[in-house]
């Protein structure tokens, strides 16, 4: 028997397969090398969406359908290796959402975890989660925890666009999807703007805090604070050869990941930085927030700028070069892999 090659097929073996198929049985030895592979073997492909091109297409959708009619006016980012499956990686979904001035995307909730990463907006648009509203600026990272009411609105004169990231494929795998509308456009707001950051984001926790939820109690991570922290840490020049200066968004409750199934990261690559080759089992979606450069993913090289969107498949070698100071936001399924004991990395020549 081989883990890399199926046994020889014969007429007798084919007849046997046809016979047992009527009993809803099949022989493991014909598929073992596809089920248990020596290394990750994924249909996910390296790819990049240029934001300027996709934005034009998304604005066209804004003339065809309203946010209320669509429920969520989103263009799904479909990995070219998995067309029609609504997947950006094998375990994650991503899409670009548009809310035009004066629109409301009505309130609903679902069992999927969601993140929003703001690509374009002037601060006059908002999202509301569990009775709290936060206003959206470019580079902000916002969480919608599972089964929490959420709606979006735009009180500004400009469109707001953000990248959605959800664990839809994971939820589908476990058959645990539930969703329901609130029955009203907007949920009641019973907390002031900035409440969760004030209550949980200042290295302080309520003395009797005993929340058993797995998602961070902070649901909005403003880019202004993130960028300031990166600049303060730059002073020590503790550059990782594979990542530059890479940080993960944290849950203040325990220091773990901000979301239970999706890890979110931000990294600073200084001008002229050329990373060592790196690969890991968590396929990642990367968005440059600032700067220009290029990434070699597998055998392909992608020249990127702000708001472009890249996909790095599982176990694909990745190498970054920064032509100017660059900040990259990314997300992957690393928290789920770590909890299940699956995650692995290879730091190449670092």
| Residue 21 in domain | no
Provide the percentage of residues in the chain whose pLDDT is more than 90: 91
Q: Is the pLDDT of residue 270 over 90?
A: yes
Average pLDDT, the chain: 95
Q: What is the mean pLDDT of residues 264-272?
A: 98
Q: Which residue has the tokens 């979301």?
A: 259
Residue 7 lies in a domain: no
Query: How many whole angstroms separate alpha carbon 6 and alpha carbon 21?
Result: 18
Q: Which ranges in the chain belong to alpha helices (H)?
A: 11-21, 32-35, 51-64, 67-70, 168-174, 195-200, 223-234, 334-340
Residue 3 in domain: no
Q: What is the band of 3 on the pLDDT scale with cuts at 50, 70, 90?
A: confident
Question: Does residue 204 carry a pLDDT above 90?
Answer: no
For residue 26, is it within any domain? no
- 270 in Cβ contact with 316 (< 8 Å): no
pLDDT tens for residues 85-114?
Answer: 999 999 999 999 999 999 999 999 999 999
Residue 344, pLDDT > 60, answer yes
> Does residue 242 sit in helix, strand or coil?
coil
**pLDDT tens digit string along 106-151?**
999 999 999 999 999 988 999 999 999 999 999 999 999 999 999 9
Nearest to 141 by CA among 153, 158, 129: 129
- What are residue 135's DSSP bridge partners? 126
**Is residue 24 assigned to a domain?**
no
Question: Does 1 have pLDDT greater than 60?
Answer: no
| Full domain range(s) for residue 138 | 47-346
Identify whether 119 is part of a domain: yes
Contacts of 346 (CB under 8 A, 6+ apart): 278, 279, 280, 315
Report, as an integer, the average pLDDT of 317-338: 98
| pLDDT at residue number 350 | 65
In a domain, 341, yes or no: yes
Number of independent structural domains in the chain = 1
What is the full DSSP assignment across 186-214? SPPP-S-TTHHHHHHSSS---TT-----S
Query: Cα–Cα distance between 168 and 180 in angstroms, integer?
Result: 16
Mean predicted confidence (pLDDT) in 191-204: 92
Determine if the pTM surpasses 0.85. yes
Burial class (CB in 10 A: 0-12, 13-18, 19+), 246: middle
CATH for 298: 2.60.120.10
Taking only the tens place, the pLDDT of each residue in 49-77 is: 999 999 999 999 999 999 999 999 999 99
139: region left, alpha or beta (phi > 0 left; psi from -120 to 50 alpha): left
Q: Flag whether pLDDT at 267 surpasses 60.
A: yes
Q: Judge whether residue 337 has pLDDT over 60.
A: yes
Q: Mean pLDDT over residues 277-284, rounded? A: 98
């Amino acid at each position: 028997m081989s883990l890399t090659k199926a046994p020889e097929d014969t007429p007798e073996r084919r007849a046997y397969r046809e016979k047992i198929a009527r009993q809803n049985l099949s022989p493991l030895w014909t598929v073992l090398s596809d089920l248990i592979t020596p290394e990750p073997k994924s249909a996910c492909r390296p790819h990049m969406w240029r934001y300027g091109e996709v934005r034009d297409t998304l604005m066209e959708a804004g003339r065809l359908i309203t946010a209320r009619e669509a429920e969520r006016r989103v263009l799904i980012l479909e990995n070219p290796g998995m067309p029609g499956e609504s997947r950006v990686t094998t375990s994650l979904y991503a899409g670009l959402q548009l809310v035009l001035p004066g629109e409301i995307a009505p309130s609903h909730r679902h069992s999927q975890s969601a993140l929003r990463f703001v690509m374009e907006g002037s601060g006059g648009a908002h999202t509301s989660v569990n009775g709290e509203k936060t206003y959206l600026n470019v580079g902000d990272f916002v969480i919608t925890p599972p089964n929490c009411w959420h709606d979006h609105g735009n009180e500004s004169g400009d469109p707001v666009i953000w990248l959605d990231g959800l664990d839809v494929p994971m939820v589908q795998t476990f058959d645990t999807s539930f969703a329901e509308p609130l029955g009203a456009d907007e949920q009641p707001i019973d907390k002031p703007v900035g409440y969760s950051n004030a209550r949980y984001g200042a290295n302080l926790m309520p003395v009797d805090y005993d929340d058993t939820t797995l998602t961070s109690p902070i649901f909005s991570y403003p880019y202004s604070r993130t960028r300031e922290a990166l600049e303060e840490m730059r002073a020590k020049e503790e550059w990782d050869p594979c990542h530059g200066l890479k940080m993960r968004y944290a849950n203040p409750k325990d220091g773990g990941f901000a979301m239970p199934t999706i890890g979110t990261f931000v990294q600073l690559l200084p001008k002229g930085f050329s990373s060592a080759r790196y690969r890991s089992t968590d396929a990642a979606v990367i968005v440059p927030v600032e700067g220009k450069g290029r990434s070699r993913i597998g055998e392909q090289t992608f020249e990127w700028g702000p708001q472009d969107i890249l996909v790095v498949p599982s176990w694909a070698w990745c190498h970054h070069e920064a032509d100017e100071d660059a900040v990259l936001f990314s997300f992957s399924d690393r928290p789920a892999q770590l909890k299940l004991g699956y995650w692995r990395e290879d730091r190449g020549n670092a």
